[in-house]
Structure 1
Amino acid sequence: DSRRASLFSRRVFSKSLLRRAITFVLRFALRVFFRRIEVVGAEHVPRRGACLFVLNHPNGLVDPAFLLCFAPRSVSFLAKSPLFSMPVVGFLVRALDSIPVYRRQDEGEDTARNRETFERAAELLRRGGTIAICPEGASHSEPYLLPLKTGAARIALGAASVKQDGGTGRRGHGEMGRQREELTGRETPHPSHVSPSPRLPLSPSSLSIVPAGLYYTAKTTFRSGALLYFGEPIPVSSVEPDEQGEPPRERVRELSDRIAGALRSLTLNADRHEALAMVARAERIFSSEDDEEEPSLERELRRRRRFVEAYAFHRRHSPERLEVLEKRIRQYEEELRQAGIEDPRQLSAAT
């Protein structure tokens, strides 16, 4: 009735207002901490239709904050379940429509509940929503992308899956709900917490996975730089699920591999920290020749990616040349220190 519709509208408005307030505060905090923030590739993000963001995870809660504040669409998140029990953080993740993920490394968590998590996420996508997930599964400081969990691929394929009878390829809320009701004695709410929409499969062109790479010049250093780099979307084709309602394993692995390749193309990856340190030092020297006073972070990332590839090549095929290069860089840096120059970009053409 009209009264119920009015109440629903007020709730939606207040939730939207809260989301905008949280986003405003977080965006302000990010711009205070980071001197430079660049967003590249936003034109790759579909403005309509279901969208699943996949993001690398080098910097804890700062990573999803960047996506929340600078993605061109409103985003819901999959977040580890312990966050929901934290006093302040729990309020924030709920206000942002996050869905809990249950991990083996979190004590006392039942990973079997992730089936419901995946179903809630797939249902949101079926309604044309937007979700973000960090498929590495945990924040880390490794110099490379960790092996990806299959959750992102399973959610995407589950949202697009079709049974032969034309329904969605999943065990519906009814079956999962009955199982939980038998265990708890309570009625289970619909996973999306809203009135269910018709369970129609997504068309192959209506769901896209958008890879997003985060690159930090020095993630824990005040007034450093950060780049959010959106890649080209990966279309998701419908598949026929198996008898358990799950997408075929080979299709899950294939899609996970495509996601991993896309994320590697947007991030900086080396096999060891020493390689990144060496590359950073070399890049500072070469960037001093740029015409720009301060080259873009995208350009810096691309150059460092090329240096990493060259470093890996010479370490395998001509390690002696690599040693000579490292020695020359050390000598050059020592000459700069003796001259009282901290940054090679301070050098002029006359110098």
Structure 2
Amino acid sequence: MFYLLTKYFLKLCAAFFFQEVDRVGEHHTPITGPLIICGNHSNQFVDPLLILSQCKRETSFLIAESSYRKRIVGFFAKLLHAIPVKRPQDYAKKGTGKICSDASGKIQGIGTKFTLEVKPGDMIKATSVEFTIKSVDSDDLITPLSPISDLKNSEFKILPKIDQSEIYEAVQNELKRGRCIGIFPEGGSHDRTTPLPLKAGVCLMALGAMARYNITVTIQCIGLNYYQGHRFRSKAVINFGVPYSIPRELATLYLQDRKQAIEILLRQIESRMKEVWVTAPSYEELSHVFMARRVFKPDDMENPSKLMEMNIKFAKGYRYIKEKYPDCEEFKTAINLATDYTKNLKLLGLKDSQVRSSKLSKGTFLIQTIFSIIRILLAFVLSLPTWVIAVVLGTLIYKQAEKERQKALASSSVKIHGWDVLASFKIIYGFTYFAIFSLLLGIFVFFYSVCNFYADLFGSYYDALSIYLTFLIIWPGYMYVSIILSDRALGNFTKTYVRALSMCSPKAINSVIQQREQLKQSVKALVKKFMPEIFPELKHKKNKSTYELNDSINDAFGFLSEIGFS
């Protein structure tokens, strides 16, 4: 019961923060049987929030013990049957002295105390390298598992070896009972556009349970794809992958050669993660991918499932061409066109979808502008209290979330901007501040009601209490409706702006329209040229019509427009 109530609360959180959350392939999730859900970790606490709120299986997520100890996060983690995990980085401490590598690949210490501070199995994390200790030879000499080179006088941190046998035992017992476990194989969250190296823990849990209890464990990879996911009212797509039942032969191999079995399963998981998550080498290149798909096949012309499939294939096509044909002139031309088109859109304050809908007659422009202004004014009046509250609470929430971002960025070596923690703390602080504000406002309403009733004292308190409880029920609903109205008002405002721009500055609009068409033709040429090579299974037949050929190209390349060449 508590799990279901918490799940509905998480759905409410997602509905407030995100403007849109699309689910793709949720029917793939097995109803019964031992299941491990593996997701990419791009948005700290928001990642499990989305999966838990949208997945039809009751799922117990592994959570860092440091997060489990947090007051608010830990409270919900307990209600959701989360399993706390000790992580070496949570117990990291600064080592004494400095270290460098010698000619033999061992680590020499300068003013170090290795015999007191480290032991075999611990990890050392320096500025440019991270390694596991094989043996401690003396206070100033240790031997790593693999030789280390080019490490010069560097400060270092010590990450102690953690005994995870209890965690593996708990997870394997859950799998034995046919339950569902959630895990992020990358370890900690990050804001990179490519995955971090996957940890072997998920393989140890799955293969260990199969070997120990003679059961079949299924792996399902879920891609969490965010579009500026650190921003309020952004969009997200949850892509549920096709389940993978681990072969019994792999469990048998695990008993004979643990390392080989883990490597095979880890490669399988990594491959399936790429099928559900849109990745690119950098944010700029990811924007090229999305723009290419949009100009090739706009968002409103396909369902979310088709668009996500196109995004992933476009990203794969982009990586393939860049790696195999880096000097391809058509590819370079498309990149340059995408860059120029994006810059001009930003200068005009436009989006690609608005460029496609900018052509209007003067009469139509006038009528639609009048109706848009009416809608904007109505939405503004109805949601005015929300705007006032948003300015006050939004400023406080942003400052607190920004502090957490800077703190997380300073303590991490894998984060780029620290955006992966922003959404989580915006939601945490947002609901905390909103709850406090609502209670205080409710108390004010209660006493104001008491003072304005002229019945007997008991009747006054009874009526005031009824008003107070009614207020607490209606107030959150009003806030949500106000947010929706504000979204629509903003949409109407941007449409009106584009229409006005198209009438007042037609040359500017016509220029970006021409750029868009050039980019579209360039993307189509790339798809037609490389589709048979990258996706041979989708190679078109010669007797297909032009329309069918375009569909095949779109399917093959994941509709270049979805991945963002613009």
Structure 1: gaps spanning 5 or more residues: 1-16, 162-167, 169-200
Alignment of 1:139-154 (within 5 A): 139-154=189-204
CA distance in 2, matches of 1:111, 1:90: 24
Q: Does 1:304 align with 2:288?
A: no
Q: Could you tell me which residue of structure 1 aligns to residue 52 of structure 2?
A: 68
Query: Which of these residues, 91, 97, 101, is aligned with residue 107 of structure 1?
Result: 91
Alignment correspondent of 2:168? 118
Q: Which amino acid aligns with 1:248?
A: R
**Distance across 2 between alignment mates of 1:275 and 1:340:** 21
Assess, with a 3 A threshold, how the Cα gap between structure 1 residues 91 and 247 changes in structure 2: closer, same or farther.
farther
Matches of 1:102 and 1:110 in 2, distance apart? 11
Alpha-carbon distance in 2 for matches of 1:338, 1:92: 44
Structure 2: segments with no counterpart, 5+ residues: 93-158, 361-566
Q: How many Å separate the matches in 2 of 1:68 and 1:158? A: 25
User: Is 1:203 aligned with 2:215?
Assistant: yes
Find the partner of 1:90 among 74, 78, 98: 74
Indicate how the Cα distance of structure 1 residues 335 and 272 shifts in structure 2: closer, same or farther if over 3 A, else same. Answer: closer
What is the CA distance between 1:53 and its match in structure 2?
Answer: 0.8
User: CA shift at 1:319, angstroms?
Assistant: 5.0
One of 180, 187, 212 as aligned partner of 1:137:
187
Number of the residue aligned with 1:155: 205
Secondary structure, aligned partner of 1:279: helix
Cα pair 1:136 1:148 within 8 Å, conserved: yes
Cα distance in 2 between the residues matched to 1:291 and 1:134: 32
- Tell me the secondary structure at the aligned position of residue 106 of structure 1: helix
Shifted more, 55-64 versus 220-229: the winner is 220-229
Q: Which amino acid aligns with 2:208?
A: G
Please, what TM-score do these two structures have when normalized by structure 2? 0.47
- Counterpart CA distance in 1 for 2:24 and 2:193 is 22
Equivalent residues in 2 for 1:176-325, closer than 5 Å? 201-204=213-216, 207-238=217-248, 239-240=251-252, 248-288=258-298, 292=301, 295-316=302-323, 317=325, 318-325=327-334
Residue 38 (structure 1) aligned with residue 88 (structure 2): no
Matches of 1:37 and 1:117 in 2, distance apart?
32
Matches of 1:79 and 1:247 in 2, distance apart? 29
- Structure 1: distance between partners of 2:257 and 2:176: 16
Q: 1:209, 1:234 within 8 Å by CA — same for their partners in 2?
A: yes
1:260 is aligned with what amino acid? E
Instruction: Give yes or no for contact 2:223–2:238 (8 Å, CA) kept in 1.
Output: yes
Instruction: Give CA deviations for 1:45-99 in whole Å, capped at 9, x if unaligned.
Output: 1111111111111110100111111111100111111012111211221221111
8 Å Cα contact 1:77-1:132 kept in structure 2: yes
Whole-Å separation in 1 of the counterparts to 2:343 and 2:160: 55
Inter-partner Cα distance in structure 2 for 1:202 and 1:44: 24
| Distance across 2 between alignment mates of 1:22 and 1:77 | 14
Tell me which amino acid in the other structure corresponds to 2:277.
Answer: T
Matched, 1:343 2:352: yes
83 and 336 in structure 1: CA distance in 2 versus 1, 3 angstrom threshold: closer
- Closer, same or farther in 2 for the Cα pair 1:300/1:76, shift >3 Å? same
Match of residue 190 from structure 1: none
Q: Distance in 2 between matches of 1:115 and 1:202?
A: 19
The answer to which of 216-225 and 317-326 deviates more is 317-326
Deviation at 1:129, TM superposition (A): 1.1
Evaluate the alpha carbon distance shift between residue 160 and residue 341 of structure 1 in structure 2; reply closer, same or farther with a 3 A threshold: closer
Where does residue 328 of structure 1 map in the other structure? Answer: 337
1-side partners of 2:186 and 2:227: how far apart?
A: 20
- Give the residue type in structure 2 aligned to 1:223: R
In the alignment, the residues of structure 2 paired with residue 134 and residue 230 of structure 1 have an alpha-carbon distance, to the nearest angstrom, of 14
- Maintained 8 Å contact 1:275/1:308: no
Task: Give the 3-state SS of the residue equivalent to 1:105 in structure 2.
Answer: helix
8 A contact 2:176–2:215 mirrored in 1: no
The amino acid across from 1:34 in the alignment is F
Q: Percent of pairs identical after alignment?
A: 28
Higher-Rg structure is 2
Name the CA distance, whole Å, in 1 between partners of 2:346 and 2:66: 47
Q: Distance in 1 between matches of 2:343 and 2:189?
A: 35
Give the aligned residue type for 1:53: I
Aligned to 1:97, the other structure's residue is in SS state: coil
Give CA deviations for 1:283-335 in whole Å, capped at 9, x if unaligned: 333344x663xx43333333333332333344342254333223323444566
Q: Which residue of 1 aligns with 2:10?
A: 26
- Equivalent position of 1:175 in the other structure: none
1:157-176 pair list within 5 angstroms: 157-161=207-211, 168=212
Cα RMSD, aligned residues only:
2.7
> How far 1:254 sits from its partner (Å)?
0.9
Residue in structure 2 matched with residue 194 of structure 1 by the alignment: none
- 1:158, CA displacement in angstroms? 0.9
Confirm or deny: 8 A CA contact 2:68 2:77 kept in the other structure.
Answer: yes
Paired residues of 2:276 and 2:312 also in contact (CA < 8 A): no
Deviation of 1:159 after TM superposition, in Å, equals 0.8
Aligned to 1:57: 41
